[in-house]
A and B are shown apart, each in its own frame.
Chain A
């Protein structure tokens, strides 16, 4: 009782000094408390990290679920293991999407490996144990990969050890400093009572007796200072919580321990100070200063343009050819000019060849385009599959790293700058992944587009092939025609020469025949000189009025005709085309003077119209008159036939006044 009373008395007697010493104790304990708070929060944070220590054993695809369940149960019985949970592929996907919300879209449709997740018992989460358990789990045949973040676990433990040691050293330093400060303040009160102490000693008070009130005083000051420090710390922590970051406060047990520590420091300080007086021991104060060094297509358009250009050229050539064709028809219809026809044919052939060449070029171009597009599509396909693989791999990797990804980034960073950089890298990685997905999408679209191009180009090629085939057939036909024509031209040249000779022979025969008839007529006229003078039934008034001996088109006209083989034929009459068997009528009355074959003229009927005028009807099939017979105008003489194999059935008709051939058309009606 007395020491307490004495101590209380001291407070009463020197309130200022006591308040000062209590305040000093409070502030040194406050500093200790703040340090303690920091240490506590760091430890708490590390424990929370440590709580996340987990071993994930990823399982090969296609392992039977029963095996996995059994393995999980098996593993759960390991002495170090707290729990072993089976995570299926579906659960893995769900978990990845929730744990890595940032990558949610990337995980869409991904296949993640199933795993067995192990948690170790608290206190057995050190790197060595984690590695041992991981190695043991690896022995299961279907386990393909075991992840436990060895790098960061070691770092975590190193960090924990460092913070533990630093905490201990700093704590001790703070405590020693507190003891020294508290001791010094208590010593002031002791000094104030030095005389009293010396007297007490003089009169035989025991050291213990002398010391006791001081100890009580120190204890009381320690407790008071401790309470004050606790209050200050609590206020600081509340303020930090409110304005800076969330922290935790000491629990009741630690708070009481803190108070006791304050009291103990008070006691110790007092004891040391009083001891100095009692034993006159000299103490050296050692103040240690601690420096803490904390330490990343489209070429189809041009091909299409090219094809369009070629198509236009093709169209132009085809139009040109159509022109040639119509001119040809014209030529064939109007003038039978074989040379021109052949030249036209040549031009047509050329045009067709150009069409084919163009088609060939177009085909080549299209084929090239198709090849290019195919190659590009293949490349895009390959790239797509490789991107897909990369993305898949990254996804699996990200998942396998699990929620510790950020913790790892935090722990492996060496400086704050690097830490910031790492956050940036993480962000960039996520962005890149997303870009990768977008790129894959673009590639897929491109491939689809190029596939469509390919199909279109293939059909174009098919169409052009058919065109080419048609053109080739046409060319072959044209060539055939040309050959036939050439042969014909060559043959007819000879024939024409022959025929010309024959014609000339026939003509002279005809002339001779007529001359013979004329000379006989003249002789008979001379023998009957008083016979009335004959008059011709072919009067000049009949010019342009005579009826046509047969109705038909003019096959050849009177006079010179240039043949295609550059020969000329001179006709003494005209050829009137008509079907074989068509009746031939006399153009004027007269006497038949000759019926018979006459060379190339065939069956020929000659009618004398008197006064030396004759008309000739040749190339007949049959004759219905006899030599010496009289014919009236319009009488049937015979029928149309064929004499020249090169010519159609026709009637060769001549008018020979005085035996000389003239153009019959001038005598006939309505010359056409």
Chain B
């Protein structure tokens, strides 16, 4: 479903971010992506939602190839992906509901279905009661929930989360992780970049570690070096 084939990404100024990465993520998988800062995690993720195109190699996501995809193809692909960031990226002058519905509106969803979907997804993330609040009135964890709700409202097949808990305290982190697990349970694949090793250690999920742009460890690979003991 998501396949990297010998993908290398080189930036003109900063040099190689991702080097010769081949990787497959299957439907409904939960994948942790770890590694030190600057290891190439974010670049990898950006190539998943085709914000970046690889310098060489190919990224295929749900049948869309990085080699042939048009801007329109990219937009369409993103409607089937949910993307969450460390900094939430919410619209400050819009309410929670509006922030979520915005994602539907901008892809031209029929007005009739919007509010139903919004309500359902807000319920799902546990913010049904805060639909009319503005982001600044919410806590960090809540804000990230809103962001997740926005990511989920289109029923994506995969959720890409780049350090979703980076700005959150432990409690909130746990809350968000819990939410993500729930979402994964509903069949949505999740790729989550994090350096919260503790979080990873407690889980049995697939973990991919990157260093200097390369995958140095993949728990799904048989040849992989043994995972640290739980």
List the interface of chain A (C-beta within 8 A of B): 2, 13, 195-196, 198-207, 209-210
Contacts and interface: CB of A to CB of B under 8 A. Distances in A.
A380 B155 CA distance: 117
Nearest to B147: A199
Contact of A204 (B77, B89, B91, B93): B77
B71 A200 contact: no
B150 A206 contact: no
B91 A205 contact: no
B79 interface: yes
A204 B71 contact: no
A439 B78 CA distance: 101
B195 to A, nearest CB: 23
- Please provide the 6 A-B residue pairs with the shortest distance between their CB atoms, ordered closest to farther: A204-B78, A204-B79, A205-B106, A203-B103, A206-B75, A200-B106
A212 to B, nearest CB: 11
A206 B154 contact: no
B133 to A, nearest CB: 18
A613 B106 CA distance: 198
Nearest to A205: B106
Nearest to A208: B72
Contacts of B91: 195-196, 199
A199 B79 contact: no
Nearest to A202: B83
B102 A199 contact: yes
B71 A203 contact: no
A216 to B, nearest CB: 15
Contacts of B83: 202-203
B71 A205 contact: no
Contacts of B81: 204
Contact of B154 (A2, A195, A203, A207): A203
B103 to A, nearest CB: 4
Given A209-B106, A209-B108, A210-B106, A203 B78 contact: yes
Nearest to B111: A2
A67 to B, nearest CB: 79
Interface in B86-106: 89, 91, 93, 102-103, 105-106
A672 to B, nearest CB: 171
A433 to B, nearest CB: 80
A206 B71 contact: yes
Contacts of B49: 202
Interface of A is mostly: helix
Contact of B71 (A13, A196, A202, A207): A207
A2 B111 CA distance: 11
7 contacts: A2-B105, A199-B91, A202-B89, A203-B78, A203-B107, A204-B75, A204-B78
A195 B75 CA distance: 17
Contacts of B80: 204
Nearest to B76: A204
B148 to A, nearest CB: 13
A660 B31 CA distance: 214
A206 B105 CA distance: 12
Contacts of A206: 71-72, 75
A207 B76 CA distance: 11
A207 B89 contact: no
Contact of B106 (A13, A195, A203): A203
Contacts of A200: 102, 106
Given A202-B89, A203-B107, 18 more contacts: A2-B105, A198-B89, A199-B103, A200-B102, A200-B106, A201-B75, A201-B78, A203-B78, A204-B75, A204-B78, A204-B80, A204-B106, A204-B107, A205-B107, A206-B71, A206-B72, A207-B72, A210-B106
A202 B78 contact: yes
B117 to A, nearest CB: 13
Nearest to A2: B105
Contacts of A2: 105
Contacts of A198: 89
A236 to B, nearest CB: 40
B47 to A, nearest CB: 15
B75, B78, B107: residue with the most chain A Cβ atoms closer than 10 Å: B75
Given A199-B102, A200-B106, A210-B106, A205 B75 contact: yes
A203 B102 CA distance: 9
A353 to B, nearest CB: 134
A199 B103 CA distance: 8
Given A195-B89, A198-B89, A203 B77 contact: no
A209 B102 CA distance: 13
A203 B79 contact: yes
A195 B89 CA distance: 8
A210 B107 CA distance: 10
Contacts of B108: 209
A561 to B, nearest CB: 168
A199 to B, nearest CB: 6
A18 to B, nearest CB: 16
B50 to A, nearest CB: 11
B66 to A, nearest CB: 16
Interface in B103-152: 103, 105-108, 150
Contacts of A195: 89, 91
Nearest to B89: A199
Contacts of A209: 106-108
A209 B154 CA distance: 17
A209 B106 CA distance: 7
A195 B150 CA distance: 15
Nearest to B74: A204
Given A195-B89, A199-B91, A202-B83, A207 B102 contact: no
Nearest to A278: B71
Interface string B51-83: 000000000000000000001100111111101
A201 B106 CA distance: 9
Contacts of B107: 203-205, 209
Contacts of B76: 204
Contacts of A207: 71-72, 75
A204 B71 CA distance: 10
A204 B72 contact: no
Contacts of B103: 199, 203
B131 to A, nearest CB: 18
A639 B197 CA distance: 210
Contacts of A202: 49, 78, 83, 89
Contacts of A204: 75-81, 106-107, 154
A448 B198 CA distance: 136
A200 B106 CA distance: 6
Nearest to B72: A206
A210 B105 CA distance: 11
A23 to B, nearest CB: 24
A204 B80 CA distance: 8
Contacts of A205: 75, 106-107
A7 to B, nearest CB: 15
A17 to B, nearest CB: 14
A198 B46 CA distance: 13
A170 to B, nearest CB: 38
B49 to A, nearest CB: 8
B229 to A, nearest CB: 38
A108 B85 CA distance: 99
B72 to A, nearest CB: 6
Contacts of B154: 203-204
A541 to B, nearest CB: 191
A79 B102 CA distance: 69
A209 B74 CA distance: 14
A49 to B, nearest CB: 55
B88 to A, nearest CB: 10
Contacts of B71: 206-207
Nearest to A197: B106
Contacts of B75: 201, 204-207
Contacts of A13: 93
Contacts of A196: 91
A207 B89 CA distance: 19
B225 to A, nearest CB: 35
Contacts of B150: 203
A198 B75 CA distance: 12
